[in-house]
Amino acid sequence: MAQHANDSYYVPHSTKWPIIGSVGMALMMGSAAYWVNESSVAPWTFLAGALVLIYMMFGWFGEVIRESESGMYNSQVDTSFRMGMLWFIASEVMFFAAFFGALFYARVLAVPWLGGEGAGAFTNEILWQGYDAVWPTAGPEDLGGPFAVVPAFGVPFVNTLILLTSGLTVTLAHHALKKDDRTKLIGWLLATVALGFIFVALQIEEYIVAYQHLGLTLGSGIYGSTFFMLTGFHGMHVSLGAIMLAVIAIRAMRGHFKPEHHFGFEAVAWYWHFVDVVWLGLFIFVYVY
Amino acid sequence: MSMETTLSHDTPAHDDHHHDKPRGLARWLYTTNHKDIGTLYLVFSLLMFFIGGSMAMIIRAELFMPGLQLVEPEFFNQMTTMHALIMVFGAVMPAWVGFANWMLPMMIGAPDMALPRMNNWSFWILPFAFTMLLSTLFMDSGGPAAGWTLYPPLSLQGGQSFAFVVFAVHMMGISSIMGSINVIATILNLRAPGMTLLRMPLFVWTWLITAFLLIMVMPVLAGAVTMLLTDHFFGTSFFNAAGGGDPVMFQHIFWFFGHPEVYIMILPAFGVVSEIIPTFARKPLFGYSAMVYATASIAFLSFIVWAHHMFTVGMPLTGALFFMYATMLIAVPTGVKVFNWVSTMWKGSMTFETPMLFAIAFVVLFTIGGLSGLMLAIASVDLQYHDTYFVVAHFHYVLVPGSVFALMAGAYYWLPKWTGHMYSETWGKIHFWVSAISVNILFFPQHYLGLAGMPRRIPDYSTQFADFNMISSIGGFIFGASQLIFVGVIVHCVYKSRQKATAQVWEGAKGLEWTLPSPAPYHTFDTPPVIDETTIAHAHSRH
């Protein structure tokens, strides 16, 4: 068939999945807005929206996987997918950049100004006299009460090792796939999934300790804000990445992917390396430094 | 499902296949066709243009005379806020995506966009997002009223509507990011053999760079509004000094998005004008590669100038100087563009059809907006201009006779290609002259109002400002009404016009899209076209 050759184009037929996704997304986002405004029904409609989105993903991705496995995609389609994933990850990097930016701005500029540096001298004299701007801080009014920070070289360090190891195992899985060694592929993939979920479990444990024993909460001033928003969004991305890896592992078990053609695997691996790199930034700038 | 129905065939026998092109509403809901999706974007943005425009009419009606006449101040604030949100995110941006959808595949010799299913999704998020945004006007709290920039702490004091605005902005951002990814993948991956990067039409180049800007800054806006949301509902202190945060930090993050955003709205306009002027001057674009590099330079500079929106907020002197000089530097590549457009027209064999009229008006009036921008860039004098009608005049000059005129120019330019019929040149010209005159009556007096000290976003004003405000409002009403002519011309062209368009449409038109019949077939190129010097618009300027 002509569509298989690279000198011709592949254009998919019309599809119902995007509009289903839009309905799901709108239901979810609208419900979220009602939810924060304390509507009692909203959590349920939110859930309904999430289920519609999940249904959409199963349907849409399933269709793409079937098309891919039946060899309908030529190398041009493959390149489009690759570019799509790369630029999606670029947008994710910028999302995290906003929160890292907030962290750096607070640490380098806002907090020292509150402590009387630079043009902030009068703030320190008049508004919050004697506020000692030392990071970590919950601000001049010590919002959320006294707290202690999570020590870097405890659970976070273990989590760093876990994520770095998982980066290695996913690469080993990739090498196995390229050599068409299915057993090793599935083995290393499952190991990566396991490491991912262990990371998330430890992160949850760390949050419980922070809330119950350290007095560190989302409301602990700028430190709590940046700490939980950065690690929280990262944790959500790790969870998502681990689910994606699990899907890839199931697909590998079903005999999907070929040594020369496995974009789905690579996309997830790229995503995994991306959450890995974000974590390194977090470990250095949130925990250690 | 058999493979026969799964694949799109471009042989005539399959063109009307029911899986290819469902009928009725389903066609539009399920479509993966770049032309259908382009049409959806354009119709949607036109609708939003009128909704946002009617809000502007309310604003101008209230400002017709001093004193409170028609609306409560609270509602006035909702109108200014919603007018901006709708015009920026609902009218101008989706209109450009509509143009991208229609034209990019035809200009680079591709069958469609690179990711057609995602293309459908990026459009169909928008009607939901804007329904959500507009629904806030009917809530007890009313719509958002803190200005489209959503500065805290004021925006955090909004009522029920606040969360809806945040989530609507999230949806618009998701839509924009998916649209941009599609544009980049299409341009980088689907060019026909021989369509090298430096042979691409300028509109393709400007959209490639715009898409890059969108991917870089829309997630930052998402981050900013997320921080607002958590500050409001979940007790974080990003913008609360008592907790060690800083409300000014929001302005930094917002404008890191916001400044590239204004180039997102104008770069495709540069592209369209760079297509139209050579056609009607019957000369290749002057300085093609300089135009490409100028666009890239503007995009780069747009990332390092954001704090010029914040000179009065207070920043270290070095910061003010840096942002001032970096901003003024943008005048250099922009000047390159303006001189190249003028040089393209120089000694050209010019005719003045409606697209050309709008394009020339763009060059003149956008330049006025650019020059007032240069004045605003000077940190010391910005202390006087900031938050006055001078700023309002400035950004409306670059957005209305800038972006919107370029959109009009592009619409008239490509309408025959899209519909297969010529629009009414007489009514097009009437639309142009009424718009071009009234837009100046509308916005030019606002420069004087601002220099005299009239603050923006205020429903009432001192009587000394009365005359210019009345003139401005009259211009506004004429401009608003004259856009109905535009709708009339489009409706006539689509449904009534009997004058068939040729493939080339315009005598001087060059480029791949003009090699296709008018209307362009549902599927553009089933096999890659041959690209040679004759099909390249700027062929003569290259060796």
Amino acid A11: pLDDT: 76
One domain for residues A78 and A48: no
Least confident of A129-143, A203-217, B259-273, B385-399: A129-143
Among A11, A31, A52, A83, the residue to mutate for chain B (most B Cβ within 10 A): A11
Last residue of a domain, one of A26, A57, A73: A73
Contact (Cβ atoms closer than 8 angstroms) between residue A208 and residue A197: no
Per-residue tokens: B334: 């922009």
* Average pLDDT score over residue span B450-476: 96
Q: Is B500 helix (H, G, I), strand (E, B) or coil?
A: strand
Among B25, B238, B261, the residue to mutate for chain A (most A Cβ within 10 A): B238
Unique residue bearing structure tokens 């829309």: B218
Per-residue tokens: A149: 């920070």
Give me the phi and psi of B388, to 5 degrees please: -110, 175
**Closest chain B residue by Cα to residue A77:** B114
One domain for residues A42 and A110: no
Residue contact B246–A105, C-beta within 8 A:
yes
Q: How far is CA A83 from CA A146, B121, B468, in A?
A: 47, 18, 52
Q: Is the pLDDT of residue B534 over 70?
A: no
Per-residue tokens: B97: 């995506």
One domain for residues A117 and A132: yes
Residue contact A87–B180, C-beta within 8 A:
yes
Q: Is B101 helix (H, G, I), strand (E, B) or coil?
A: helix
Q: What is the pLDDT of residues B94-141, one digit of tens each?
A: 999 999 999 999 999 999 999 999 999 999 999 999 999 999 999 998
Contact (Cβ atoms closer than 8 angstroms) between residue A42 and residue A34: yes
Q: What H or E segment, with its residue span, contains residue B245?
A: none
Last residue of a domain, one of A27, A58, A73: A73
Q: Is the pLDDT of residue B343 over 70?
A: yes
Closest CA to A14 of B20, B182, B11, B119: B20
One domain for residues A11 and A80: no
Task: Tell me the shortest Cα–Cα distance from B260 to chain A, in angstroms.
Answer: 14
Residue contact B219–A37, C-beta within 8 A:
no
CB count in 10 Å sphere of residue B299: 21
Residue contact A12–B32, C-beta within 8 A:
yes
One domain for residues A86 and A195: yes
* Average pLDDT score over residue span B151-178: 95
Q: Quick check: B180 contacting A, CB < 8 Å?
A: yes
Contact (Cβ atoms closer than 8 angstroms) between residue B40 and residue A46: no
* Longest alpha-carbon distance in chain B: 74
CATH number at residue A52: 1.10.287.70
One domain for residues A53 and A83: no
Contact (Cβ atoms closer than 8 angstroms) between residue A9 and residue A76: yes
Amino acid A9: pLDDT: 63
Q: Is the pLDDT of residue A283 over 60?
A: yes
Size of interface A-B (CB pairs under 8 A): 262
Q: How far is CA B298 from CA A267, B329, B433, in A?
A: 32, 9, 31
Per-residue tokens: B367: 């330049």
The secondary structure of A186-212 as a DSSP string is HHHHHHHHHHHHHHHHHHHHHHHHIII
* Average pLDDT score over residue span B485-497: 96
Amino acid B12: pLDDT: 39
> What percent of chain A is modeled with pLDDT above 90?
85
Q: Which residues of B touch A111 (CB under 8 A)?
A: 244
Q: Which residues of A touch B244 (CB under 8 A)?
A: 106, 110-111, 114, 137-140, 143, 221-223
Residue contact B236–A92, C-beta within 8 A:
no
Q: Which residues of A touch B238 (CB under 8 A)?
A: 102, 106, 222, 225-226
Q: Is the pLDDT of residue B232 over 90?
A: yes
* Average pLDDT score over residue span A225-239: 97
Task: Tell me the shortest Cα–Cα distance from B253 to chain A, in angstroms.
Answer: 7
Nearest by CB: A9 against B21, B129, B526: B526
Closest CA to B162 of B70, B257, B51, B85: B85
* Average pLDDT score over residue span A195-209: 97
Nearest by CB: B236 against A36, A90, A218: A218
How is residue A214 annotated by DSSP? I
Q: Quick check: B252 contacting A, CB < 8 Å?
A: yes
Q: Is the pLDDT of residue B488 over 50?
A: yes
Q: Is B411 helix (H, G, I), strand (E, B) or coil?
A: helix
Amino acid B20: pLDDT: 57
Amino acid A126: pLDDT: 86
Give me the residues of B, 116-135, that contact A with CB < 8 A.
116-118, 120-121, 124-125, 127-129, 131-132
Q: Is A131 helix (H, G, I), strand (E, B) or coil?
A: coil
Contact partners, residue B489, CB within 8 Å, separation at least 6: B423, B424, B427, B428, B431
Residue contact B227–A119, C-beta within 8 A:
no
What mean pLDDT value characterizes chain A? 93
One domain for residues A87 and A218: yes
Residue contact B163–A113, C-beta within 8 A:
no
Among B130, B161, B246, the residue to mutate for chain A (most A Cβ within 10 A): B246
Amino acid B525: pLDDT: 81
One domain for residues A166 and A38: no
CA distance A221 to A140: 9
Per-residue tokens: A253: 């078990």
Q: What is the pLDDT of residues B198-231, one digit of tens each?
A: 999 999 999 999 999 999 999 999 999 999 999 9
Amino acid B15: pLDDT: 40
Residue contact B241–A114, C-beta within 8 A:
yes
Question: Which long-range CB contacts under 8 A does A204-210 form with residues at least 24 apart?
Answer: A204/A235, A205/A155, A206/A150, A206/A155, A206/A156, A209/A150, A210/A150
CB count in 10 Å sphere of residue B524: 25
Last residue of a domain, one of A14, A46, A73: A73
Task: Tell me the shortest Cα–Cα distance from B170 to chain A, in angstroms.
Answer: 9
Please name the amino acid found at residue B139. M
Q: Is the pLDDT of residue A48 over 80?
A: yes
Contact (Cβ atoms closer than 8 angstroms) between residue B394 and residue B474: no
Contact partners, residue B84, CB within 8 Å, separation at least 6: B147, B148
Of A2 and B118, the structure prediction assigns the larger pLDDT to B118
Q: Which residues of B touch A274 (CB under 8 A)?
A: none
> Residue A200's beta-bridge partner residues?
none
Q: Which residues of B touch A29 (CB under 8 A)?
A: 132, 167-168, 170-171
Q: Quick check: B169 contacting A, CB < 8 Å?
A: no
Closest CA to B536 of B203, B209, B195: B195
Unique residue bearing structure tokens 């799964």: B6
Q: Is the omega angle on the peptide bond into residue A156 within 30 degrees of 0, that is, cis?
A: no
CATH number at residue A89: 1.20.120.80
CA distance B244 to B149: 22
Which residues of B are catalytic, by number? 83, 112, 148, 175-176, 259, 261, 263, 274, 308-309, 334, 337, 456
Least confident of B20-34, B360-374, B425-439: B20-34
CA-angle at B90, arms to B87 and B93, nearest 5°? 90
ipTM summary value: 0.95
Q: Is the pLDDT of residue B2 over 70?
A: no
Amino acid A151: pLDDT: 94
Domain housing A248: 74-288
Residue contact B243–A26, C-beta within 8 A:
no
Model-level pTM? 0.94
Q: Is the pLDDT of residue B44 over 60?
A: yes
Per-residue tokens: B211: 């898409």
What mean pLDDT value characterizes chain B? 93
Q: Is the pLDDT of residue B1 over 60?
A: no
How many domains is chain A built from? 2
Q: Which residues of A touch B249 (CB under 8 A)?
A: 102, 105-106, 110
Amino acid B327: pLDDT: 97
Q: How far is CA B427 from CA B45, B142, B273, B396, in A?
A: 22, 39, 21, 25
Q: Is the pLDDT of residue B536 over 90?
A: no
CA distance B42 to B51: 14
**Could you tell me the pLDDT band of residue B21, with boundaries at 50, 70 and 90?**
low
**Could you tell me the pLDDT band of residue B62, with boundaries at 50, 70 and 90?**
very high
Amino acid B159: pLDDT: 86
Q: Quick check: B174 contacting A, CB < 8 Å?
A: yes
Contact (Cβ atoms closer than 8 angstroms) between residue B343 and residue B421: no
**Could you tell me the pLDDT band of residue A8, with boundaries at 50, 70 and 90?**
low
Amino acid B377: pLDDT: 96
Q: Is the pLDDT of residue B169 over 70?
A: yes
Amino acid B6: pLDDT: 36
One domain for residues A67 and A80: no
One domain for residues A55 and A178: no
Amino acid B128: pLDDT: 98
Contact partners, residue A64, CB within 8 Å, separation at least 6: none
Residue contact A32–B167, C-beta within 8 A:
yes
Per-residue tokens: A285: 């700038």
One domain for residues A182 and A264: yes
CA distance B117 to B387: 43
Residue contact B125–A22, C-beta within 8 A:
yes
Amino acid B10: pLDDT: 41
- Terminal-to-terminal C-alpha distance of chain A: 59
One domain for residues A40 and A152: no
Per-residue tokens: B374: 């240069």
Amino acid A12: pLDDT: 82
Q: How far is CA A112 from CA A117, A136, A140, in A?
A: 6, 12, 11
Please name the amino acid found at residue A227. F
